Structures are given as C-alpha cells and as structure tokens.
C-alpha cells in the first residue's frame, strides 16, 4: 500500500494523581491517500486520543506519525499550524462553532487565517453552504440552528481550505437518527467527490460501515 499516513508504535501515557493511564499502546497503522477508514470502539478506548495525535493537536509519549513522509514531531510550531490549517480538516462531536459568529463567518474564518482575500473566502464558503443545503442559514447564529445544521456548518468550515485529510471525532454523537444519516451520506460524498482521505472515529457501528476499512480499538490497542 502506498501509505499517506503512517503511524508507528504510537503510545500515549497520561500521568495524574499517582496513576499511569495508557491511552494508546503501541499503535501501528498505515492509511493510503484517498482512503476512508473508521476506527470503532467504546468510550474511553483511545479513539479520540489517536485522532488528536494524527491531527497534531496532541503529542505522543512514544512513537511517531508521518504524513506524506513528514514526521509531525520534526515540524516547527509554524509548520504544525500550517498543516492543521491547510492540509487537515477537523470535525468534532460538539461542533466547536464560535457562537458570536454567524454561520458564514464561522466557515470563512480558516480561509482568512490562511491568507485568502475576503471575497475569495466568501465565494468558497457560499459554494460549500449551497452544497450542504445551508445557504439560507448563512446569516444565522449557531444557537439558532438544529444539531444537524450545526454539524454541517462545522463540516463546511473543515472543508473551506480543501484539506487532503478530514478527521472526524464522533461526528454524529449528538445527532438524532435522521441528521446522523445525512452526515453519513455527506461524508461518503466528500470521500468520493473530493478524493479526501477520511479517518473517522466512532462508537456507532452503522456509521463505521460507511468506511472502506473498519478497525477496532480496545484498551488503547488496535485490533483489525
């Protein structure tokens, strides 16, 4: 397999109150470019920790993550920020929208940070919101949206810079079944239409079945 993301002997240990918690235990995983994989497992199994380390939001205790041959631990803080802004999109369970900003303002923010002009960012955001059936909600504030609409807004924000990698952390965990089904279909569309590499972590086996490959994680260990 032509590996785009390589995870080698990844271990994460948390220390607190005199106790050692092993969140990840020598994880090895290779993901090819444009692959859609799901990592399933119960709460507390290490799924989110794995995703955060792949995305550069956390650092491993041991082991390493390589993206397109680059070891994340070797990157400068500026390079890490560029990676997260331009090459990786994040979708979280709790949306993480900025409540003081409208839908359109939330979506264009990463594009403006990356150096896009306002007009260019607005044009890309309008196209995404139209694609996600949110254009009529573009001036709404997040608190005036349904859960499914908030999650689609978060996905639009994650896609604004056309990332090569989309990392999804329990994206349907807070949604009703109808909204969850829509997000499942949307992720499949993004994968097929945009050739996006997607890593999805979830405890929802129906959502996991949407992926090309499903892995399981239990007590910090990856089980094929």
Q: Do the Cβ atoms of 157 and 109 come closer than 8 Å?
A: yes
- Per-domain residue ranges for the chain? 3-223
Is the pTM for the entire model greater than 0.85? yes
CATH of domain 3-223: 3.40.50.300
Distance of CA 124 to the CA centre of its chain: 20
Asked if residues 37 and 200 have their Cβ atoms less than 8 Å apart, the reply is yes
Query: pLDDT (tens digit, 0 to 9) for every residue of the chain, 224 residues total?
Result: 468 999 999 999 998 777 889 999 999 999 999 999 999 988 888 999 999 999 999 999 999 999 999 999 999 888 888 889 889 999 988 889 999 999 999 999 999 999 999 999 999 999 999 999 999 999 999 999 999 999 999 999 999 999 999 999 999 888 888 888 888 999 999 999 999 999 999 988 888 888 999 999 998 999 87
Beta strands in 44-113 (DSSP E): 62-67, 70-71, 88-91
Residue 2: the pLDDT is: 67
Residues 15 and 77: their CA atoms lie apart, in Å, by: 24
């Amino acid at each position: 397999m032509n590996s785009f993301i390589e995870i080698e002997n990844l271990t994460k240990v948390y220390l607190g109150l005199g106790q050692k918690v092993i969140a990840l235990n020598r994880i090895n995983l290779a993901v090819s470019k444009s692959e859609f994989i799901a990592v399933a497992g119960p709460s507390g199994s290490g799924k989110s920790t794995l995703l955060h380390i792949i995305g550069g939001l956390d650092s491993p205790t041991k082991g390493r993550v390589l993206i397109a041959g680059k070891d994340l631990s070797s990157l400068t803080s500026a390079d890490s920020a560029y990676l997260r802004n331009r090459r990786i999109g994040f979708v979280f369970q709790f949306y993480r929208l900025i409540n003081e900003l409208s839908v359109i303002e939330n979506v264009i923010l990463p594009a403006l940070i990356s150096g896009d002009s306002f007009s260019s960012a607005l044009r890309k955001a309008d196209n995404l919101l139209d694609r996600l059936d949110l254009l009529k909600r573009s001036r709404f504030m997040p608190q005036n949206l349904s859960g499914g609409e908030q999650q689609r807004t978060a996905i639009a924000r994650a896609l604004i810079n056309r990332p090569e990698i989309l990392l999804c952390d329990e994206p349907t965990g807070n949604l009703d079944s109808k909204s969850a089904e829509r997000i499942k279909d949307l992720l499949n569309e993004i994968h097929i239409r945009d050739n996006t590499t997607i890593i999805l972590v979830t405890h929802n086996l129906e959502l996991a079945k949407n992926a090309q490959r499903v892995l399981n994680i239990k007590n910090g260990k990856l089980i094929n």
